Structure 1
Amino acid sequence: MSVLAAIAVLALLIVVHEFGHFSAARLQNIRVNRFSIGFGPILLKKQGPETEYAIRAFPLGGFVGFPDDDPDSEIPPDDPDLLRNRPILDRAIVISAGVIANLIFAYFLLVSQSAILGVPESANPQPGVIVTQIISSDSPAGRANLQAGDRILAIDNRPLQASEEAAKVFKQTIETSANQSLNLTVKRGKEQLAIALTPDADKAGKGKIGIGLAPNFELIRRPPNSIFEAFIVGAKEFQRMSVLTTKGFAQLIGNFQETAQQVASPVKIVQIGSDLAKSDAGSLFQFGALISINLAIINILPLPALDGGQLAFLLLEGLRGKPVPSRIQDGVMRTGLVLLLGLGMFLIVRDTTNLAIFQQLLP
């Protein structure tokens, strides 16, 4: 059920993004002839008065189609309700509406979390640190069979006390122990395990084991004093998550070689969401908000086949006083789409083969 919940959250975020584009177009009376979730062959479709609604085979996103791009469309090329015949501002609103929808949805998820589950009152430190993610099955942590959700209580017989310093102590010990065997005391559910691993050395000679790490806190919540408090707390959490996510993308771009392994496919995202749902179903609010913010930031990047790439062409059109030739736009967008789908399939294969159930099938 936790896997299904994570898949449902991811699918909902894609629908929200595409509905942002669709609603922005329809509110401006711009013609839309396709609304699709996923790419590739159609699995299920329904034809409306003007728009075809479809679910497709490859769930790597979705798209809103316009008659402008349909060679079989019977709508006259000079129709004022075609997207390409609208002013730059109208088109920019349609293109950016998916990003805006994801950001708004993330905010309201966090408000809903505060209203339904309560607002944070205190965070009581607990012994140990929490493993949030295993970056790769071929990392020291993966080879040692550490798992997301494990609580590390001690490292080399040194207990990790119930304090904010526990994660810092653990990280420092790993970084100063490259190529040295370390013994971890790990609590997994009700079971306590002894796990040995040896950190790899990075280019700077620091140890790394390939995990995501979080402090171990027991969060105490209370009912909000009013709905306004839920909105205020949601806004603060939205700001915090947005800043951290932006910094994460900046680090990824600035140090891609070191951080590229952390780029995840939908398979990995679902696995992370499933692990969160197992430990605390309320975490799905945070999970959904975080992924929604990530989708918004990814899509606004000026890359081909993404919303940011289309906005870049609009900017060039505004500067030149005329559109970039359609053959150039089509070539760039098609190349970008092929590369994006190729990367998506590669990440799906990589993350699928890293799942525990598939690792058990390997010799």
Structure 2
Amino acid sequence: MSVLAAIAVLAVLIFVHELGHFMAARLQGIHVNRFSIGFGPILWKYQGPETEYALRGFPLGGFVGFPDDDPESTIPPDDPNLLRNRPILDRAIVISAGVIANLIFAYFLLVGQVATVGVQDINYEPGVLIADVVTDNSAAERAGLEAEDIILAAAGRDLGRSPKAIQAFKKAIETHPQQTIQLQVQREEQILTLDITPDRSEDGQGIIGVRLAPNGKIVRRRADNLFGALASGAAEFQEISVLTAQGFAQLIRNFSETADQVSGPVAIVAIGADIAKSDAGNLFRFAALISINLAIINILPLPALDGGQLAFLAIEGVRGKPLPTHIQDGVMQTGLMLLLGLGIFLIIRDTAQLDWVQKLLE
């Protein structure tokens, strides 16, 4: 059921994206002849007065079709309500509407979370929790640190009760490679003093071989009223958008180092399934995060994406006429093949990394 919930989240986000394109066209009186969720064989379809609505076999995408280049269309080529015959601004609105719909939907998802199940927060206690210790002769193991220990102070500095405690502890370790420092540790009801000598990493910083976690109890905070929900939702939206944009910027700057962190639909469904199992309330934030990611990816000026079509419109605006059709088609088809190839690669890679697949391969 958790996997189905994650797939449903992806399907809804795709539907919202395509609905943005569809509504932007129809509200301007532009002809639309197809609205499809998914790719591949048709599972269900309904023929409306002008538009065919369909659900297809693979719900990991979708499209809105226009009769401009449909050889079976009976609409005259000079019809002013064909998309290609509309002014650049009208076409830009249709093309960008999917991205805008995803962003708006993400915001209201976060508002909904704040208003109903609440936003996950932490009531911080003093110090930093050691969630796990590397047992391969790490500095932490040599010093006698154990999982579930709480570091109260490091190198003479009290870590305090703060979300910044983890960063303060990391800094104390990273700035003392191969130098012995003193830790004040709480282990159950005991307060211990341990000396630790961080190892030196390849980049010259200190490391001790632990996984850290905030020390505190997880709580959920709900908004008191609608205005509070709208304000909190906006703050959550801004935080996620900024972090996502920074992540894409880092990916572009250090692609060779961060490319393995790119996830495909299989990994996204797996993450969503884990979230649904542990706390279904976090599906709101998960869906908002994926929706914002879809928006940012689609607005990139790459062939076969919305951003690539907007780039063609920008060139048309500068030239005063569109690029030749064969050039646009060639670029878009090449981009589509590259995206499909990347998608297939990510699906195969992420499937091979699933736990149950790893067990089969052992």
Quick one: distance in 1 between partners of 2:71 and 2:345?
32
Compare CA radii of gyration and give the structure with the larger one. Answer: 2
Deviation at 1:47, TM superposition (A): 1.7
Gaps of 5+ in 1: 132-140, 145-153, 178-198
Distance 1:275 1:289, change over 3 A: same
Quick one: distance in 1 between partners of 2:106 and 2:143?
37
Find the counterpart in structure 1 of residue 308 from structure 2. 309
Find the counterpart in structure 1 of residue 186 from structure 2. none
User: 8 Å contact 1:167–1:213 — kept in the other structure?
Assistant: no
Find the counterpart in structure 1 of residue 59 from structure 2. 59
Q: Residue 118 in 1 paired to residue 111 in 2?
A: no
Find the counterpart in structure 2 of residue 289 from structure 1. 288
* Aligned 1:61-100 pairs, distance under 5 A: 61-100=61-100
Letter in structure 2 aligned against 1:51: T
* Aligned 1:6-45 pairs, distance under 5 A: 6-45=6-45
Letter in structure 1 aligned against 2:240: M
Scaled by the length of structure 2, what TM-score is found?
A: 0.79
User: 8 Å contact 1:43–1:54 — kept in the other structure?
Assistant: yes
Find the counterpart in structure 2 of residue 242 from structure 1. 241
Distance 1:169 1:80, change over 3 A: same
Distance 1:46 1:160, change over 3 A: farther
Deviation at 1:156, TM superposition (A): 6.3
Distance 1:213 1:166, change over 3 A: closer
User: 8 Å contact 1:130–1:214 — kept in the other structure?
Assistant: yes
Distance 1:279 1:82, change over 3 A: same
User: 8 Å contact 1:105–1:289 — kept in the other structure?
Assistant: yes
Quick one: distance in 2 between partners of 1:95 and 1:212?
44
Distance 1:58 1:264, change over 3 A: same
Quick one: distance in 2 between partners of 1:155 and 1:218?
27
User: 8 Å contact 2:300–2:307 — kept in the other structure?
Assistant: yes
User: 8 Å contact 2:99–2:294 — kept in the other structure?
Assistant: yes
Letter in structure 1 aligned against 2:123: N
Quick one: distance in 1 between partners of 2:10 and 2:289?
11
User: 8 Å contact 2:38–2:60 — kept in the other structure?
Assistant: yes
Q: Please list the CA deviations of residues 88-111 of structure 1 after superposition, one character each: whole Å capped at 9, or x if unmatched.
A: 000000000000000000000010
User: 8 Å contact 1:3–1:270 — kept in the other structure?
Assistant: yes
Distance 1:223 1:290, change over 3 A: closer
Deviation at 1:51, TM superposition (A): 1.1
Distance 1:95 1:282, change over 3 A: same
Find the counterpart in structure 2 of residue 157 from structure 1. 145
Quick one: distance in 1 between partners of 2:264 and 2:119?
32
* Aligned 1:202-351 pairs, distance under 5 A: 204=203, 215=214, 218-351=217-350
Q: Please list the CA deviations of residues 251-288 of structure 1 after superposition, one character each: whole Å capped at 9, or x if unmatched.
A: 00000001001100111011111112222111101101
Quick one: distance in 2 between partners of 1:249 and 1:317?
28
Q: Residue 105 in 1 paired to residue 93 in 2?
A: no
Q: CA RMSD in A?
A: 3.1
Quick one: distance in 1 between partners of 2:285 and 2:70?
39
Find the counterpart in structure 1 of residue 181 from structure 2. none
User: 8 Å contact 2:223–2:232 — kept in the other structure?
Assistant: no
Letter in structure 2 aligned against 1:69: D
Quick one: distance in 2 between partners of 1:155 and 1:37?
56
Letter in structure 1 aligned against 2:268: I
Q: Percent identity?
A: 67
Distance 1:219 1:47, change over 3 A: same
Deviation at 1:218, TM superposition (A): 3.3
Deviation at 1:174, TM superposition (A): 9.6
Quick one: distance in 2 between partners of 1:227 and 1:92?
34
Distance 1:156 1:108, change over 3 A: farther
Deviation at 1:77, TM superposition (A): 0.4
